[in-house]
């Protein structure tokens, strides 16, 4: 597959603690990849390192062939990576509509696939709340808005950390359905979540991190074939 993002031998530390240990991670154009692992295994750190939010001490990160390691997060975003961090982070004192408009930008390749109306079509609940303030939204609506906001920059890759954590089951289903629609539009997705079945339904490839090292990388079929190993690594 035509690679979009390719990281090799990534090492990252928090102080003396070695958190990413030689991680290789790749995402093809339009590919859907899950990032799995128990709490504290380095999933968030990997996403933050790819986004330029956490420094990597060594390794290589390429986006569309360009060497982006050491770039500022804003430059990585402009180059085509949208990030939905754990715990969201919308502007509470802007309306839903303003949160979206504020983030609008053409994609790195000049695409303008995602508009405010496109986001409202994707998330009808946000359309109903377009004049509400960010701080008046439910947890699920905030997550929808954070995803919508990331899409407004027309990213080639969307990275979603803890996609459905803390959300009610029906809202979770909404998020999964929407991520599928986004993937169907050709946006590559990396998603961290706890629900293995939902991840298997959405993603074509899966990566398991244990203590900052990749212990499994393979297709949904390969993941299913090693169910016992996978469940033990995930503590399920």
Ligand X SMILES: Nc1ncnc2c1ncn2[C@@H]1O[C@H](COP(=O)(O)OP(=O)(O)O)[C@@H](O)[C@H]1O
**Please, are residues 60 and 3 in contact by the beta-carbon 8 Å criterion?**
no
- Least distance CB 44 / ligand X (angstroms): 3
Q: Residues for the chain: how many in total? A: 236
Q: How many residues bind ligand X (CB under 6 A)?
A: 11
Look at residue 42 and give the partner it binds from Mg ion, ligand X, none, a contact being a CB closer than 5 to 8 Å depending on partner kind. Answer: ligand X
- Least distance CB 46 / ligand X (angstroms): 7
* Closest to ligand X by CB, 45 or 99: 45
C-alpha span between 187 and 29 (Å, rounded): 7
* Closest to ligand X by CB, 49 or 154: 49
* Closest to Mg ion by CB, 34 or 44: 44
Binding residue for Mg ion, selected from 44, 54, 142, 154, defined by CB under 5 A: 44
Q: What is the DSSP letter of 72?
A: -
Q: Should residue 59 be labelled a site residue for ligand X when binding is judged by CB under 6 A?
A: no
C-alpha span between 109 and 150 (Å, rounded): 16
Selected range binding Mg ion among 35-43, 101-109, 174-182, 199-207, rule: CB under 5 A: 35-43
Look at residue 206 and give the partner it binds from Mg ion, ligand X, none, a contact being a CB closer than 5 to 8 Å depending on partner kind. Answer: none
For residue 14, count other CB atoms closer than 10 A to its CB: 9
Sequence-ordered list of residues with C-beta below 8 angstroms from that of 217, at least 6 positions apart, any chain: 24, 205, 206, 207, 208
C-alpha span between 120 and 222 (Å, rounded): 36
Look at residue 41 and give the partner it binds from ligand X, Mg ion, none, a contact being a CB closer than 5 to 8 Å depending on partner kind. Answer: ligand X
- Least distance CB 44 / Mg ion (angstroms): 3
* Closest to ligand X by CB, 40 or 186: 40
Q: What 3-state class would DSSP assign to 185?
A: coil
* Closest to ligand X by CB, 35 or 182: 35
C-alpha span between 29 and 154 (Å, rounded): 14
Using CB under 6 A as the criterion, what x/- string covers residues 8-47 for binding ligand X?
------x--x-x-----------------x-xxxxxxx--
Distances (CA, A) of 218 to 38, 151, 182, 200, 236: 18, 27, 22, 11, 19
**Please, are residues 144 and 163 in contact by the beta-carbon 8 Å criterion?**
no
Distances (CA, A) of 127 to 107, 117, 133, 155: 23, 8, 13, 21
* Closest to Mg ion by CB, 44 or 178: 44
Residues that bind ligand X (CB under 6 A): 14, 17, 19, 37, 39-45
Residues that bind Mg ion (CB under 5 A): 43-44
């Amino acid at each position: 597959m035509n690679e979009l993002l390719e990281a090799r031998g990534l090492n990252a530390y928090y102080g003396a603690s070695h958190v990413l240990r030689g991680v290789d991670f790749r995402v093809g154009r339009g590919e859907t990849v899950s990032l799995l692992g128990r709490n504290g295994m380095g999933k968030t750190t990997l996403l933050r390192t790819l986004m330029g939010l956490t420094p990597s001490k060594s390794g290589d990160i390429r986006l569309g062939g360009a060497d982006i390691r050491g770039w500022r997060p804003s430059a990585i975003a402009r180059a085509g990576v949208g990030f939905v961090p754990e715990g969201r982070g919308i502007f509470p004192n802007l309306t839903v509509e303003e949160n979206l408009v504020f983030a609008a930008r053409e994609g790195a390749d000049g695409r303008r696939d995602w508009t405010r109306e496109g986001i409202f079509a994707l998330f009808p609940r946000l359309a109903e709340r377009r004049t509400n303030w960010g701080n008046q939204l439910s947890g699920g609506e905030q997550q929808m808005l954070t995803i919508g906001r990331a899409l407004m920059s027309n990213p080639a890759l969307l990275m979603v950390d803890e996609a459905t954590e803390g959300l009610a089951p029906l809202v979770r289903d909404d998020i999964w359905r929407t991520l599928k629609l986004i993937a169907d539009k050709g946006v590559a997705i990396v998603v961290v979540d706890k629900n293995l079945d939902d991840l298997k339904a959405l993603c074509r490839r899966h990566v398991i991190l244990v203590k900052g090292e990749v212990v499994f990388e393979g297709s949904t079929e390969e993941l299913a074939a090693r169910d016992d190993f996978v469940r033990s690594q995930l503590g399920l």
